[in-house]
């Protein structure tokens, strides 16, 4: 097939305390709650992980998912924490303002690779470029995942999934599906890769008619399909179709149809209120 027409959407984090995370993402990073959804049972595509229980999804970001890369916070009721692995590297943002908020709130700031780091309550790292947050562009610059074999990763992401290689330096690749969207950095590590219990998923939107082609492409390459093409319903909202893949290191990749997702991802002005309402009901909120 021709090149995939992809658009980077979001990365999924599992969180154990919604109150602490709401404070971090809203009051430290300065992100907005874009929508909040509650579900009574596990997702057919394991959006909340391998849990068949009540859960919630909260989308947070610096702007609508139509134009910004955002974070999906999944919360499984009754699960207070998750074992972190070494599969996820971090998210790089440009926001001097986030650092200022961290300092005024005495929130810990560490250093790594000459960048300031803000770490979420569950251990996810945000590398912060100390520059004013752009008003006409997405402050989210790139997402980093780790790899055990950069050659295999390059073959998969560049050659198979047709991402454009922006830069290759040392033991890392920088790829993207297009301008004005967050890039994907793949960094080789020497340790064995452990996805543990907190592993997430990166999502991209593609036109509906490209999804079957992706399915055929992966099958022809004997790649891993975790969830074959499936439609997912959100009560009262649009239905979307997804296919979930896994790269050579097991990183989960979701391709959702652009047509359905553009409706589903519309910003809900009641998102903040809904999140706060359910946080108040959490038995161990903020503890």
- What tens digit of pLDDT does each residue of 209-232 get? 999 999 999 999 999 999 999 998
pTM: 0.95
- What tens digit of pLDDT does each residue of 33-90 get? 999 999 999 998 899 999 999 999 999 999 999 999 999 999 999 999 999 999 999 9
CB contact at 8 A, 91 and 126: yes
pLDDT above 70 for 27: yes
pLDDT of residue 287: 44
Provide the pLDDT confidence category of residue 284 given band limits of 50, 70 and 90: low
pLDDT of residue 1: 54
Domain boundaries, the chain: 7-279
pLDDT above 80 for 107: yes
- What tens digit of pLDDT does each residue of 244-266 get? 999 999 999 999 999 999 988 99
CATH topology for 7-279? Answer: 2,3-Dihydroxybiphenyl 1,2-Dioxygenase; domain 1 (3.10.180)
Encoding tokens for residue 263? 């409706």
Sign of CA dihedral 133, 279, 253, 3: negative
pLDDT above 60 for 286: no
- What tens digit of pLDDT does each residue of 148-180 get? 999 999 999 999 999 999 999 999 999 999 988
């Amino acid at each position: 097939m021709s090149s995939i027409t992809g658009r980077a959407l979001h990365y999924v984090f599992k969180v154990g305390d919604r109150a602490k995370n709401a404070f971090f993402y809203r009051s430290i990073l300065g992100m907005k709650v874009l929508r909040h959804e509650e579900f009574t049972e596990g997702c057919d595509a394991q959006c909340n992980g391998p849990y068949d229980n009540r859960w919630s999804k909260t989308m947070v970001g610096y702007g609508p998912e139509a134009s910004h890369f955002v974070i999906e916070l999944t919360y499984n009721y009754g699960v207070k924490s998750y074992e972190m692995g070494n599969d996820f590297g971090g998210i790089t943002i440009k926001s001097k303002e986030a650092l200022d908020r961290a300092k005024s709130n005495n929130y810990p700031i560490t250093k790594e690779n000459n960048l300031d780091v803000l770490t979420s309550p569950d251990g996810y790292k945000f590398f912060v470029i100390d520059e004013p947050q752009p008003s006409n562009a997405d402050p989210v610059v790139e997402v980093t995942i780790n790899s055990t074999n950069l050659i295999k990763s390059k073959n998969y992401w560049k050659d198979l999934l047709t991402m454009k290689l922006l830069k290759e330096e040392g033991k890392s690749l920088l790829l993207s599906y297009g301008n004005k969207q967050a890039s994907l950095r793949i960094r080789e590590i020497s340790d064995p890769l452990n996805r543990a219990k907190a592993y997430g998923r990166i999502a991209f939107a593609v036109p509906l008619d490209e999804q079957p082609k992706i399915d055929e492409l992966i099958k022809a390459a004997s790649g891993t399909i975790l969830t074959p093409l499936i439609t997912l319903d959100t009560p009262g909202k649009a239905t979307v179709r997804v296919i979930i893949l896994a790269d050579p290191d097991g990183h989960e990749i979701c391709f959702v149809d652009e047509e359905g997702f553009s409706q589903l991802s519309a910003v809900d002005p009641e998102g903040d209120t809904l999140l706060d309402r359910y946080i108040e009901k959490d038995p161990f909120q903020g503890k």
